Amino acid sequence: MEGVINADIEQETPAKDVFIAPSIHVEDILLGTSYTHHSPVPKTITQDALIECGLGVDEAGRGPVLGPMVYGLLYLPLASHRSLLADAHHFDDSKVLTPAVRSSLMQTLCTPGSELYHNCGWATRVMSARDISAGMLKPAGTYNLNAQAMDATIELIKDVFAKGVNVKEIYIDTIGSPSVYQKKLERIFPTTMITVAKKADSLYPCVSAASVCAKVTRDAALEVCYRSYGLEDTADAVAEGWGSGYPSDARCTTWLKRNMDPFFGWGSECRFSWGTAKDLLESKASDFKIDWPTPDNDEQAMRVTDFFLATPEDDGDEPSELSSWFSRPVTEAMF
């Protein structure tokens, strides 16, 4: 895991290399809202509904404390799976491609008239830091990151089927145990051959391409968040900013420390459920403390019905005017 994180830090995209793809919905990102983006179904597929397609899924940004986690999906005719993606355009795991190469591939994929645009459909699910944390910090029944990731993957694939694409093979980079994950997907998509594997982004070109879609979208989303602070957007400024967003990146932790509000912490770009954020908030806590009500504190809680159904206390106190009104017949109360 450490090697993967270090690779992401080394491959952090400078501002000058960020391609703003159609999957960047600025308003949703700034509001901290999760959303899904789908490209048009390519003409190669719409012109022949029976054409068999392969589909790959991968993610970017699972470990950072800043920014969204993005799931990417790409599908294309099986006949051109390797020849188009691997041989012609040299897609590979996004972490081994330079930022410039990733952006160039994504830009080509989004350019009408290109071979990639004509043959490939793609989609992303941007899972905001706010929603990730809200799920993980639920007071009852934590919605953990694996469950959120699996749900995002399943919904993306269902969307593609709903568009009428004849998906025959699915390849996915694993979450946890490959066999357990694969069996669950096979129950949901019983007519499709499914392969869940470790390092799938290095083994299957459609997963490699999906990882590029995810990575470029995350990099651009992180850049949108950074610029919302009104900071300079030059490459040098971003390099001195929050960097990759990973807790192990010194730029990230330095930014968090320097820009933390002692009461509110940070904006919607931060995953408050991460230990890094929790520790900083506790170490630099405000003098103000909040005791949030919990479901277990029933003795102190007031119910709405208490105002209407209360009876006089044993000490002889008269009932309140409001409780008397609603506990007596209307005719009696008025006359």
Nearest to 215 by CA among 32, 70, 104, 85: 70
pTM for this one? 0.81
Query: What pLDDT shows up at residue 243?
Result: 82
CA distance 217 to 245: 14
Query: What pLDDT shows up at residue 314?
Result: 46
Query: What pLDDT shows up at residue 9?
Result: 65
DSSP 76: E
Instruction: Show the low-confidence residues of the chain (pLDDT under 50).
Output: 234-236, 297, 304-305, 307-316, 321-326, 330-335
CA distance 99 to 244: 12
Query: What pLDDT shows up at residue 325?
Result: 45
Query: What pLDDT shows up at residue 300?
Result: 52
Nearest to 89 by CA among 125, 119, 63: 119
Cα–Cα distances (Å) from 69 to 62, 181, 285, in that order, read 5, 19, 27
Concatenate the DSSP letters of all residues of 37-66 into one string: EEPPPPHHHHT-TT--EEEEEEEE-SS-SB
The percentage of residues in the chain with a pLDDT greater than 90, rounded to a whole number, is: 56
Where are the alpha helices (H) located in 77-144, listed in sequence order? Answer: 81-82, 99-109, 115-119, 129-136
Query: How buried is 161 (Cβ within 10 angstroms: 0-12 exposed, 13-18 middle, 19+ buried)?
Result: middle
Cα–Cα distances (Å) from 298 to 164, 289, 301, 303, 308, in that order, read 52, 21, 5, 9, 18
CA distance 287 to 277: 18
Query: What pLDDT shows up at residue 312?
Result: 47
